[in-house]
């Protein structure tokens, strides 16, 4: 599938090399009238957007952990339907160690952890979990220890997990890594596993705070409610006239789409939210998102405010060669590197849908949320090796003068 997309990406290289138009960005501190150049890692009182003020409970504080607002720019993808525009919200640029969508949730979750007097954080995810990496870094910033329960293959569950991708960052910042096999995880579940570790730590005199998979609970949902306010402000202050008809994002745990869909529904955006699920199935996520919305007393039905499509392919964090080639071709054409687990599959699903149902997207202006995850590519290097190339030993003609020591190796 998408062979027409993959095959034509290179034709757009010269087109995409022209400068891209960026929306004028106003600092987030100006949005909330908290102008300070020293906001990073500080705790701040939180006041919700007016259109979200009826939700309950409303967080009292948040920590400034990300570099916001993240940019929005035109994304010149190949083979789009007639008069269709795709723009990109770069939440992959929300930081370095803390890059990606999880940072927005952690701003609220860690403020709650500190308020409760926690001295350590427990969370859980896959072996290359972006959320676990972001949690470990953010926790260390706030002088909290982190305990990460990571799901892996039963073949290697008793072995050192190594230092590839997110694992390297997690272990550098001193995270305590607890490995669990996929089979045990499936039988026990994330809630029981985190509860078991919490009890052990309490018995050791610690004060743990548990963050669920992906940071996706009702409190974490505020991260992307706030992101909608950010997008509103960017559109209002931008030099470009932009009004988005659709918002597209990957869905892995549900919190991001809960915040985006409710926010877009209630705010002035009124864009239709499309989520491409990379695990489980759409029915699961409709129900899960409904639970998050009910936890905020939102009074809306998830099926009314978000459209969820299946994009998991072979399974969570498992890629076909065609999906990886798509990631490589989009990077070569546009300079935007998608991760293979989340945004890569979502973009693949989006362009596939546009190819199969062009009339559905014709003339629409689409905002795609890049949720980060670059470090996850490092686990795919063997699979991607045959897809890249572009290297050779340089052939220096014999007529070029040579002299020992002339080349300084800095």
Give catalytic residue positions.
129
Pair of tokens at residue 258: 């809960």
Pair of tokens at residue 399: 């007529």
Pair of tokens at residue 287: 């129900």
Pair of tokens at residue 159: 């072995």
- Residue 222: closest CA among 271, 258, 269: 258
Helix (H, G, I), strand (E, B) or coil at 239: coil
CA distances (Å), origin 88, targets 22, 28, 51, 133, 146: 10, 18, 24, 24, 32
Pair of tokens at residue 321: 């060669």
- Residue 106: closest CA among 143, 78, 68, 134: 134
Helix (H, G, I), strand (E, B) or coil at 299: coil
Contacts of residue 346, defined as CB under 8 A and 6 or more positions apart, other chains included, come to 248, 249, 250, 251, 276, 278, 311, 368
User: How many CA atoms lie less than 13 Å away from 248 in the CB half-sphere?
Assistant: 26
């Amino acid at each position: 599938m998408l062979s027409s997309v993959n095959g034509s990406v290179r034709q757009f290289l010269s087109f995409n090399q022209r400068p891209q138009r960026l929306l004028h960005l106003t600092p987030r501190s100006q949005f909330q009238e908290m102008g300070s150049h020293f906001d990073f890692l500080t705790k701040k009182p939180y006041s919700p957007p007016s259109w979200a003020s009826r939700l309950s409970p409303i967080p009292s504080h948040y920590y400034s952990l990300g570099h916001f607002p993240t940019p929005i720019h035109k994304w010149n993808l190949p083979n789009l339907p007639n008069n269709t525009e795709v723009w990109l919200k770069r939440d992959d640029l929300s930081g370095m160690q803390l890059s990606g969508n999880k940072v927005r949730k952690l701003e609220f979750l860690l403020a709650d952890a500190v308020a409760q007097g926690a001295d350590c954080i427990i969370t859980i995810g896959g072996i290359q979990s972006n959320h676990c990496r972001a949690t470990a870094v953010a926790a260390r910033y706030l002088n909290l220890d982190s305990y990460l329960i990571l799901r892996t293959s039963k073949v290697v569950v008793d072995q050192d997990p190594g230092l590839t991708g997110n694992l390297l960052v997690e272990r550098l910042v001193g995270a305590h890594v607890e490995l669990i096999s996929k089979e045990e995880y499936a039988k026990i579940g994330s809630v029981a596993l985190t509860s078991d570790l919490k009890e052990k730590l309490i018995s050791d005199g610690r004060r743990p705070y548990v963050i669920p998979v992906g940071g996706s609970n009702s409190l974490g949902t505020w991260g992307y409610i706030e992101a909608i306010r950010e997008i509103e402000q960017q559109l209002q202050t931008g030099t470009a006239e932009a009004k988005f008809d659709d918002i597209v994002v990957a869905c892995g745990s549900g919190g991001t789409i809960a915040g985006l869909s409710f926010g877009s529904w209630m705010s002035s955006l009124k864009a239709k939210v499309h989520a491409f699920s990379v695990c489980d199935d759409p029915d699961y996520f409709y129900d899960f998102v409904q639970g998050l919305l009910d936890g905020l007393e939102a009074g809306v039905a998830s099926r009314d405010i978000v459209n969820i499509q299946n994009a998991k392919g072979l399974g969570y964090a498992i890629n076909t060669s065609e999906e990886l080639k798509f990631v490589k071709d989009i990077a070569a054409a546009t300079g935007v590197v998608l991760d293979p687990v989340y945004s890569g599959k979502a973009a693949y699903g989006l362009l596939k849908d546009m190819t199969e149902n062009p009339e559905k997207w014709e003339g629409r202006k689409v905002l795609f949320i890049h949720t980060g995850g670059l470090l996850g590519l490092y686990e795919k290097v063997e699979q991607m090796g045959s897809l890249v190339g572009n290297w050779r030993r340089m052939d220096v003609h014999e007529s070029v003068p040579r002299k020992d020591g002339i080349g300084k190796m800095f």
